[in-house]
Amino acid sequence: MRDFLVLRSALEAGELRSASPDAASPSGWRVNAWVKQGILLGFRLGVLVEFSTGGPSCGLSFVDKHTFPARHVTTDDGIRLVTGGSAIRAGAYVARGVVCAPPMYINTGSYVDEGTMVDSHALVGSCAQIGKRVHLSAAAQIGGVLEPVNASPVIIEDDVLVGGNSGVYEGTIVRKGAVLAAGTILTRGTPVFDLVRGEILRATPDLPLIIPENAVVVPGSRAVSKGKGQEWGLSLYAPVIVKYRDEKTDLSTALEDLLR
């Protein structure tokens, strides 16, 4: 139990991560499977207990493993955690200058770096890695993963804008400066059509789906070209890279700095 608490404290301090930048890796990241194993050990060691806030008269309580309570945040942490139903779970690192708008949730093992905004109804899943100055817009979903322990978590690199109601899942990596328009969904099985470079981006057995640096991705569709789908005039969802970020795109996202 003591070893787990040491690991949890190191995660909360940002000294350990479930995935770390690694220039020698084809994806640029290395999964630290032993860290994920430690988190899973915490669930096995934990027993269900009742937590309450505001005292017995408040009536607000929840039940969870005693090894993963909600983190207590103070002004010394430099985190802006706005009232209204948000929570940061023990074992998550949240850097100074992060803004948490209610209600949002940051799960254990995740890493949220400086200056990031986690907006209302946004989720940062277990072990997800979020870079500096990222904006996770309202209802954005960043998927989590604990098992298998060698599976890559979702990674959102620095200065990425994730639009409202977007979802990034199954180990997808979004490179620095990319913009995901509202409603964009990215999974391991999702092909992404790059109109600028004339390529179709896909995950491989060895690498997850990777969105290039500064790419601007919007929801699109592609026609079904055979069978009943063609007969009925159906089309399938397809994310599309329509451009790469430039000064005009930066101007359109400059409002983010004013909101922090």
Q: What is the CATH number of the domain that holds 98?
A: 2.160.10.10
Are the beta carbons of 17 and 129 closer than 8 angstroms? yes
**Number of domains forming the structure of the chain:** 1
224 falls within a domain: yes
Other C-beta atoms closer than 10 Å to the C-beta of 258 total 6
Other C-beta atoms closer than 10 Å to the C-beta of 183 total 15
- What confidence score (pLDDT) does residue 56 get? 60
- The pTM of the full predicted model, rounded to 2 decimals, is 0.93
Which residue(s) pair with 129 in the sheet?
111, 155
DSSP for 58-106 reads: T-EEEEEETTSPBPP--GGGT-EE-SSS-EEBTT-EE-TT-EEPSS-EE
DSSP for 170-189 reads: TT-EE-TT-EE-TT-EE-TT
Which residue(s) pair with 215 in the sheet?
244
- What confidence score (pLDDT) does residue 59 get? 61
141 falls within a domain: yes
- What confidence score (pLDDT) does residue 259 get? 46
- What confidence score (pLDDT) does residue 6 get? 98
Are the beta carbons of 70 and 87 closer than 8 angstroms? yes
Residues in the chain where the model's pLDDT stays below 70:
54-59, 249, 251-260
**Run of H or E including 35:** helix 33-45
47 falls within a domain: no
24 falls within a domain: no
Task: State which residues form the domain around 215.
Answer: 72-258
